[in-house]
Structure 1
Amino acid sequence: MHNWFECKVNCERILENGMQKRETEPYLVDALSFTEAEARIIKEVTPYISGEFTITDIKRAKLSEIFLYDGGDRFFRAKVLFLSLNEKTGTIKKTATQMLAQASDSEEAIKVIHKGMEGTLADYEIASVSETGILDIFPYGDSIKSIVLEGE
């Protein structure tokens, strides 16, 4: 099981016109604790950032699943409702979870989630999909497999 932490890194970036601008960039890292999350994000971003940077925030990301798609360049957060029938009352209970999908747009993110959920016995529906600012994720090794969509 993964413990995801959203880490915000504040650094200077050089714009196309040559000006420097301070930006805060969110990343997702798999770690056992806040301390390990900080150490891992520093290790992962150091080769890509020139100059000084600071970690401004680390918080737990409550994600039940992450679906990677190599054709995607952004990350989308989806609220997925698992449906179960209460046999005594005859009502449908909805249990919400958060998932992350890598895709190019929200429609592709929905396809990636459906593909990733193939073989799931539980009934579910996707309640919402929204783009996040997350630039990259850093899992342990290759513990997350990439999704292949039909026609590729």
Structure 2
Amino acid sequence: MSMSNWFECKVRYDKMMENGAQKKVTEAYLVDAFTFTDAEKRMNEEMEGRGEFSVTAVKRSNITEIFWDDTADKWYHVKVNFITLDEKTAVEKKTTSHILVAASNFRQALDSFMEGMKGTMADFEVNTITETPLMDVYKAKVVE
């Protein structure tokens, strides 16, 4: 499995609202890319054909893993602390990880996260679960 580099991209465009009016909106997306330039290029490819738009921001994300669910319509950011014990000093050490979970609601996000962590031998505690403003997440394109 390759190591993913996740970048959060903000895209500004004219969105057709339910009342038929055009409104300028800025939406957030997560894209797997090698560099900032690559992330912007990927975002341009993903947005192609949606009319005029501009990528207004690209920043590195702290997401280390993603639990996918194609039926879900929201993305939740789970901040989890992995707890390790220093053998010599018997001091507990906490390491924070950021995991993105696709879910339709908070409860499902927690359940999916716990399900995804089933095989984990490490002790962990869920610190926070927050709904994100992400509209979509784009995996790296596999080159045949």
Same fold (TM > 0.5): yes
Partner of residue 126, structure 1: 126
Q: Kindly report which structure 2 residues correspond to 1:11-30, keeping only aligned pairs within 5 A, or say none.
A: 11-30=13-32
Partner of residue 41, structure 2: 39
Q: 5+ unaligned residues in a row in structure 2: which ranges? A: none
Looking at structure 2, the residues matched to 124 and 68 of structure 1 have their Cα atoms a distance apart, in angstroms, of 20
Following TM superposition, by how much is the alpha carbon of 1:141 offset from its aligned partner in structure 2, in angstroms?
Answer: 4.2
The amino acid of 1:5's aligned partner reads F
Q: Secondary structure at the match of 2:9?
A: strand
The amino acid of 1:37's aligned partner reads A
Instruction: Indicate whether 1:107 and 2:89 are aligned.
Output: no
Looking at structure 1, the residues matched to 67 and 141 of structure 2 have their Cα atoms a distance apart, in angstroms, of 15
Looking at structure 2, the residues matched to 20 and 105 of structure 1 have their Cα atoms a distance apart, in angstroms, of 29
Looking at structure 1, the residues matched to 70 and 29 of structure 2 have their Cα atoms a distance apart, in angstroms, of 17
Looking at structure 2, the residues matched to 85 and 34 of structure 1 have their Cα atoms a distance apart, in angstroms, of 37
Q: Secondary structure at the match of 2:135?
A: coil
Following TM superposition, by how much is the alpha carbon of 1:114 offset from its aligned partner in structure 2, in angstroms?
Answer: 1.2
Partner of residue 146, structure 1: none
Identity %: 43
Looking at structure 2, the residues matched to 100 and 59 of structure 1 have their Cα atoms a distance apart, in angstroms, of 16
Looking at structure 2, the residues matched to 31 and 75 of structure 1 have their Cα atoms a distance apart, in angstroms, of 19
Looking at structure 2, the residues matched to 32 and 141 of structure 1 have their Cα atoms a distance apart, in angstroms, of 11
Partner of residue 136, structure 1: 136
Partner of residue 145, structure 1: none
Looking at structure 1, the residues matched to 16 and 72 of structure 2 have their Cα atoms a distance apart, in angstroms, of 25
Following TM superposition, by how much is the alpha carbon of 1:18 offset from its aligned partner in structure 2, in angstroms?
Answer: 1.4
The alignment yields a C-alpha RMSD, in angstroms, of 1.3
TM-score, normalising length: structure 2: 0.92
Looking at structure 2, the residues matched to 33 and 136 of structure 1 have their Cα atoms a distance apart, in angstroms, of 19
Q: Kindly report which structure 2 residues correspond to 1:48-67, keeping only aligned pairs within 5 A, or say none.
A: 49-50=50-51, 52-67=52-67
Looking at structure 2, the residues matched to 25 and 46 of structure 1 have their Cα atoms a distance apart, in angstroms, of 15
The amino acid of 1:61's aligned partner reads S
Looking at structure 2, the residues matched to 3 and 33 of structure 1 have their Cα atoms a distance apart, in angstroms, of 8
Partner of residue 72, structure 2: 72
